Structure 1
Amino acid sequence: MQFFKRNPFGHILFLKKWLIRILGAYSHRRYRGFNELKIEGSEIIRNLQDSNVLFISNHQTYFADVVAMFHVFNASLKGRVDSIKNIGYLWNPKLNIYFIAAKETMNAGLIPKMLAYAGSVSIERTWRSNGEDVNRKVKFSDISNIGKALNDG
C-alpha cells in the first residue's frame, strides 16, 4: 500500500494539491488586480461530466492560459459565478485537471516543471525540437497518456 495517493501519472496528490494552492495564491493577484480576468459561462463548467472533458488553449499565451484555467475551473466548481473572487476555492482544488504540453517546454525551467507536476500531459513534438524543424513519428505512448488524462478528468 502506498503512503500517499497518486494520480495515473504517478504524481503524489498531496504535493500536487499544495503546489496548486501555492501557485494559485501567487498568481491570483495577476487575474484579480493586474489583469482583470473576464469570465463567462461558469455554469457550463459546473454542469460538465467528471471525465472525458478536453479544453484547448492558444499556444501563444500558454502558461497564462493554463493558470487561468486552473483558477476558473476551481472557482466555478466551488460555486463562484463568472468570478474568481475569494481565493478560498483553492483550499481543496480539483486535482484531475490536465493540459497537454510539449515535453521540452515543460523541462525548460523551474516554473514549467512545477506546472508540469500540477497537471501536464507532456508529449514530444513531431515537427519541431529545440528550435529546429524535425520529422518524427507520433509516439503512441503520448496518445495513450492523453487517454489516461481524459479518463481521469
Structure 2
Amino acid sequence: MGLFKTNPFGHILFVKKWLIRILGLLTHRRFRGFNELQIEGSEVIKNLPDTNVLFISNHQTYFADVIAMFHVFNAGLSGRLDSIKNVGYLWNPKLNIYYVAAKETMKSGLLPKIFAYTGSISIERTWRSKGQDVNRQVKMSDISAIKKALDDGWVITFPQGTTTPFKPIRKGTAHIIKTYKPIVVPIVIDGFRRSFDKKGLRVKKKNIYQSMEIKEPLKIDYENESIAEIVEKIEYAIEQHPSFLKVIPEDELQEKERLNRELRDW
C-alpha cells in the first residue's frame, strides 16, 4: 500500500488503518472484558465477496454497534469464527468497510469526527434534525455516496434510522437494495442498550449478556419484489417486525439471567 493511497472518499488508507488499530485496541475490553460478546454466524463473513455487500441491523447505540461489527468482521476474516479473542486481527484490518450515519451525529464532537474517518458515510436525515421532526427531500449526493461505498466494499446500515426499537423501516434502504442489488446480510444485536450509554461511548453496566447474530444473506428478487415487500423482509430479518413485540417467555428471561450470572462469575 502506498503511504498516501486514498479510498474513493479521499481518506488516506495508512491513516485509516492506524485509526482502526488504535480504536480497536481501546474498545476491545468493552466486548471481551467488561462484557463478553456472544457471536453467532461469523462464518458468513468469510464467504462474502469483497464489494457490494450491505449489512442491515437493528440499532441500539450510536457508536458501539458499529465498533463491535468492525471487531467481529475483522476477526472472522482472519479465521477467528464467533470469537474476538486475541486482538491481533486488527493488525491488518479490512479497510473498505463503511457505515451509514447521521451527519449531525458524526460532527457532534472530536471523537465522532475521528471515528468518522474510519468509514462513515455521513448523510442528512430526512425525518429528524437536532431533536426535531422534519420533512425534507433525500439528497442525491447521499445516495451517490452509498453507491460509491458499495462499489468499493461493504456498507453497514441501520434501516430504522434510530436506536429506538420497533420503529418503522425507512423505505430508502429498500430503494437502495432494489436499485443497486447488493448482497444483503442481516445482523441482530442485543445487550448494547443495557451495557452502554446511548452514544455507546461509556460503559454503563458490566457483565451484561451481549449478542450478535450474523444471518445468511437474504434471498431477494430485485426485479419483481416491491419496495413494501423488501421492507417487510428487512423487518423480519433484523427482528423488528411488530410480530416480535410480545411478552418474553419466563424461561427465556431465566436463561438470560443465568447467562448474566455466568458472566459476573467469569
Q: Under a length normalisation based on structure 1, what TM-score does the superposition of the two structures give?
A: 0.95
The Cα shift of 1:136 comes to: 1.0
Structure 2 residue 110 is the aligned partner of structure 1 residue 123: no
Residue 79 (structure 1) aligns with: 79
> The residue matched to 1:9 in structure 2 has which SS?
coil
What are the residue-to-residue correspondences of 1:1-153 with 2, within 5 Å?
A: 4-153=4-153
Contact 1:57–1:66, Cα closer than 8 Å, also in 2? no
Q: Sequence identity of aligned pairs in percent? A: 78
> The residue matched to 1:100 in structure 2 has which SS?
strand
**Cα deviation digits, residues 65-98 of structure 1 (max 9, x gap):** 1000000000000010110011110001000000
- Greater strand proportion: 2
The Cα shift of 1:101 comes to: 0.3
One-letter code aligned to 2:75: A
Q: Under a length normalisation based on structure 2, what TM-score does the superposition of the two structures give?
A: 0.56
One-letter code aligned to 1:12: I
The Cα shift of 1:3 comes to: 5.9
Residue 167 (structure 2) aligns with: none
Alignment partners' CA distance in 2, 1:45 and 1:3: 28
Alignment partners' CA distance in 2, 1:99 and 1:131: 22
Contact 1:39–1:83, Cα closer than 8 Å, also in 2? yes
Query: Unaligned regions of 5+ residues in structure 1, if any?
Result: none
Alignment partners' CA distance in 1, 2:62 and 2:55: 12
The Cα shift of 1:58 comes to: 2.8
Contact 1:57–1:65, Cα closer than 8 Å, also in 2? no
Cα root mean square deviation, aligned: 1.2
The Cα shift of 1:128 comes to: 1.2
Structure 1 runs of 4+ with >3 Å offset: none
**Cα deviation digits, residues 100-128 of structure 1 (max 9, x gap):** 00000000012211221101101001111
Alignment partners' CA distance in 2, 1:104 and 1:41: 33
> The residue matched to 2:9 in structure 1 has which SS?
coil
One-letter code aligned to 2:27: S
For the pair shown, the structure with the greater C-alpha radius of gyration is 2
Query: Unaligned regions of 5+ residues in structure 2, if any?
Result: 154-266
Deviates more, 1:20-29 or 1:123-132: 123-132
- Greater helix proportion: 1
One-letter code aligned to 2:4: F
